[in-house]
Structure 1
Amino acid sequence: MINTVTGAGACPGCGATTASVSDAVPWCPGCEWNLDAYDPERRQREFGWTWVDRWTHRLAFRETGRQFARLTGRPLGASGAGAAATLVTVASLVLLSGVLALAVTGGWLVVAFPFPNLAILPGVAMVGLAIALRPRFGRLDPELEVVPRDRAPELFALIDEVASAIGAPVPDVVGVDGAINAYATTVGLRRRKVLCLGLPFWGSLDAGERVALLGHELGHFVNDDPRRRLLTQPAFTMLGSAADLFRPVGSTVGGGLVEMIGDALGRAFQGVLSRVLFMAHLLLVSVALRDAQRAEYLADELSARAAGSTAATDLLDVTLATESIALAVRRETRAGHGPDRWRSALAQARAAGAERLPLLRQLSVRDESSLFASHPPIGLRRRMLTVARGRTRRSCSPRHGSNGSTRS
């Protein structure tokens, strides 16, 4: 049920009645006054200090809106990659160069002087540090149930068709799990392409939404997503690994005064260095995720190309109802029913909540705006598809000259 709240009688911006869903801080559905408000009851704490979390939320809300406005002006299908992608690539190259220099210098110290010598100790330490800081390129989830092509020929035929429609490669591995989600990723140095479909999610979608889901996920293989590029992986992992490595642990017990002072100074130095590295990690990741969000918008456009705008926008609306999906799947499964009843129960839940759906889309812009979000808010993603659909219709409509003739 929609919980409508009036703020001093009306919105101070446009005079319309303010609204709230699920006890959220009220906002104006018309002019979106107060939609950027920080709502601590609905947000997970990111830094732990309320004033910092409030400030970062406002910053994220503003940057998310700016990115949306910037991308809506580009041609349909353009990547829009820019400064963020360049910065992340340069940072990754610098990090890789630093680790390589550390390994080479350490190896030289180990072999350059006759054994035994004191240079071996720092050399071994540097080589070990380089190994610990090496970039991680991911691996196949051990809990993923890999589906061979001969076991699900219809699924693979659909994947092949969608991949061909959007110009994406066919995944090397297709698997399923029990999550209400789906993802596409690349793993290993060979960058094997992996598609995972959560069975409760997949079974709850209709035919068009399934095509839209495949279009979105396979679109990540061609949308220049920084999370899946080999060259940009160090930006997401290396500084975080370094912060963990230098985090102080343990303490000297039973030593003398000198040992205790030395231990305290060492731990203080480690603590400062760890925090500096971690803050640098957060800063770099927040920049990299701006480019990741740009890639999500493009994946949505590829989803619409494969399934049509209606199916793509319906899929985004479904993602607002993951709690309803979970409830429907649990209830129908316990009753011995399969995916047909999952879809029926979800359709009933969506019909019952149709009145509040526009408000949920707006509220997602507040709830999902974050400096560390890999996806843009669902409400903005859906709005982007709506804008793109309108732009496509205008570009395809005939232009009439003054004499009534049609011009190409």
Structure 2
Amino acid sequence: MRSTTEQTVQPCPQCGTEIRTDRRFTTWCSACDWNVDPVEPDERPGRVERMRRGIAHRYGERLLAEMTGGESRRPRRDVAGVLACTVALCVHGVTVALLLAGVLLVTLGWGGALPVLGAFLLGLAWLLRPRFGRLPDDAPVLHRADAPRLFALIDEVAACAPTSGVHAVAVTAEVNASVSTYGIGQRRLLTLGLGLWEITAPQERVALLGHELGHFAHGDTRHGVIIANALHSLNSWRYLVAPIRNPSGLEVILNALYLLPFLAVQGVMMLLDQLTLRAAQRAEYLADASSATAASTEAAVALQDRLLVYGSAETFLLRESNARQVRDRAKRDEPEQGLWDRLAAYVESIPESEYERRRRVGALRGHSVDSTHPPTHLRRACLLAGPAEPAAVRVDAEAVAAITAELADARRVVALRVLRG
């Protein structure tokens, strides 16, 4: 429960309306939006990111209209998707060509510089090679035998998507969750951030699982092996041929040589973004639909609201870590045992006015922060546009207790890592 000393009352300097707010958070006016978004961006985005945000802004409202039309709430392979795969395969073709050229120069070169050049091309091909992912070695990883009740819930939610479950769950401190694949066999991994899991209600956790598993069900193009690895290769190319800043002497000549390759890489990246960003945003809407199907529309919307305060949750965890660093060791009494409870209590104490402020900030900023995800206010609008869906999966107190017990060791390990910095 918040103390009354945390409440402040003052007139709005712009319109004079009385403002009642929590002093821990931004003071703003709901009547005229004074000070609703006082934070300036930390840095100006690069050219590619500016282009991404421009595309996202252009298509944002139009895509929302399509998604609320009913028939568009299903995945589809359009011309842009086919072209994106074609471009990605061409990028991989360059890597294969470098590999073959390197092998030929090393094996057939007649001395001199040709084998050296071949070795260089082989090293370049290795740098640009496709990545198949692997299990994290810096986070607890749970398999089905370690957490049968958690995996049973995941399977139940996956069936609503519909898709199959996951092979492993990695537990981190992030205020986030994600899905990915690992190994050549593309086994499925769910990364579960306790910073988000612990601040959500049971039904919101079902919504979270429904959203993440929905990415598997709807074939999220940008997370597929072909396109994701092509983007990785292009980023590697851009790093290798990026102009040297503040060049001098020979570096000026190198910059001139790098110019055309850099522009070519930049152009291909922009093309691939142009072809896939719309599909990436559609995938988010479809994943939200899976979330509502599994947990109910009400729970899916509640999850969207909870995501609005992820920054506050991250700040709380950072404060806890800093406090641990300066606290006298003799006074430490295993504070990791209560870290997640303290985080949940803090987030629960955030006033509704702060949630509303962040909703308005999202509407004002639109796609200017994240080009791959539709703004939260559009995602909420899409969820609320159709008839309210009931929950297909419900978790009772017994299931919550069982899953909490299965996560106990991971909760303790991750809490210790947070507090140790």
Shorter chain as denominator, the TM-score bin is 0.7 to 0.9
Q: Secondary structure at the match of 2:198?
A: helix
Alignment of 1:95-134 (within 5 A): 95-112=91-108, 115-116=110-111, 119-134=114-129
Q: How many residues align?
A: 355
Residues 47 and 24 of structure 1: is their aligned pair in 2 closer, same or farther, counting only changes over 3 Å? same
Deviations 1:304-324 (A, max 9, x none): 111010001100000001244
The answer (yes or no) to whether the contact 1:43–1:367 under 8 Å persists in 2 is: no
- In structure 1, give the amino acid aligned to 2:280: A
2:143 to 145, 148, 164: 148
Alignment of 1:51-70 (within 5 A): 60-70=56-66
Deviation at 1:95, TM superposition (A): 1.0
- In structure 1, give the amino acid aligned to 2:371: A
Deviations 1:185-233 (A, max 9, x none): 1133321211111113211111100111111111121111123312222
Deviation at 1:246, TM superposition (A): 2.4
Query: Which residue in the other structure is 1:47 paired with?
Result: 46
Structure 2: unaligned runs, 5 residues or longer: 1-7, 16-29, 321-333, 391-421
Q: Separation in 2 of the partners of 1:142 and 1:386?
A: 40
What is the root-mean-square deviation of aligned Cα atoms in Å? Answer: 3.8
2:87 to 67, 81, 91: 91
1:294 aligns with 2:290: no
Query: Which residue in the other structure is 1:158 paired with?
Result: 153
Query: Which residue in the other structure is 1:138 paired with?
Result: 133
Identical-pair percentage = 31
After the TM superposition, which of the residue ranges 131-140 and 179-188 deviates more from structure 2? Answer: 131-140
Query: Which residue in the other structure is 2:257 paired with?
Result: 269
Q: Which has the higher contact order (CA 8 A, sep 6+)?
A: 2
Deviation at 1:154, TM superposition (A): 2.4
The answer (yes or no) to whether the contact 2:171–2:191 under 8 Å persists in 1 is: yes
Tell which structure's C-alpha radius of gyration is larger: 1
1:221 aligns with 2:220: no
The answer (yes or no) to whether the contact 2:363–2:377 under 8 Å persists in 1 is: yes
Query: Which residue in the other structure is 1:386 paired with?
Result: 384
Q: Secondary structure at the match of 1:197?
A: strand
Deviation at 1:169, TM superposition (A): 1.5
Query: Which residue in the other structure is 2:174 paired with?
Result: 179
> What's the TM-score, normalizing by structure 2?
0.71
- In structure 2, give the amino acid aligned to 1:347: E
Residues 3 and 110 of structure 1: is their aligned pair in 2 closer, same or farther, counting only changes over 3 Å? farther
The answer (yes or no) to whether the contact 1:42–1:367 under 8 Å persists in 2 is: no
Q: Secondary structure at the match of 2:217?
A: coil
Q: Secondary structure at the match of 1:151?
A: coil
Deviation at 1:359, TM superposition (A): 5.0
Q: Separation in 2 of the partners of 1:88 and 1:3?
A: 54
Deviation at 1:290, TM superposition (A): 2.6
Query: Which residue in the other structure is 2:347 paired with?
Result: 346
> What's the TM-score, normalizing by structure 1?
0.73
Q: Separation in 1 of the partners of 2:186 and 2:102?
A: 29
Deviation at 1:6, TM superposition (A): 6.8
- In structure 1, give the amino acid aligned to 2:257: F
Q: Secondary structure at the match of 1:231?
A: helix
The answer (yes or no) to whether the contact 1:286–1:372 under 8 Å persists in 2 is: no
Q: Separation in 1 of the partners of 2:108 and 2:371?
A: 47
